[in-house]
Amino acid sequence: DAGITQSPRHKVTETGTPVTLRCHQTENHRYMYWYRQDPGHGLRLIHYSYGVKDTDKGEVSDGYSVSRSKTEDFLLTLESATSSQTSVYFCAISDRDRGRNTEAFFGQGTRLTVV
């Protein structure tokens, strides 16, 4: 299994509080992604990173920010959590091998509940 760890695995938080989810990899992969998964919507990209300090928005980035200060860690922050951000969050990593996209490996997911 790819070395990718998400923490925490479960979290319940109150509306309006800040929340940070952490993704840690030991594969030295260049690309890291944060997705959310909701019934009826599949996987939606929140933000992704293509290198240290290089990040870009995905399709559902509002209300989220990310940081990547080193290759192995990609943090997702909800500045002020809302109930609509209740979801399962997945981190993924991938790389490029001789110019070709490799497959993405996923963490175990974080179930976040905002009450």
Residues that bind other proteins (CB under 8 A): 31, 33, 40-45, 48, 50, 58, 88, 90, 92, 94, 96, 100-106, 108-109
Within the chain, what is the greatest distance between any pair of CA atoms?
A: 46
User: Which pairing describes strands 10-13 and 110-114: parallel, antiparallel, or unpaired?
Assistant: parallel
Q: Which residue number, 84 or 101, has a Cβ lying nearer to other proteins?
A: 101
Strand partners, 12: 113
- 3-state SS, residue 84: helix
> At its nearest, how many Å lie between other proteins and the CB of residue 9?
10
Q: Which residue number, 26 or 108, has a Cβ lying nearer to other proteins?
A: 108
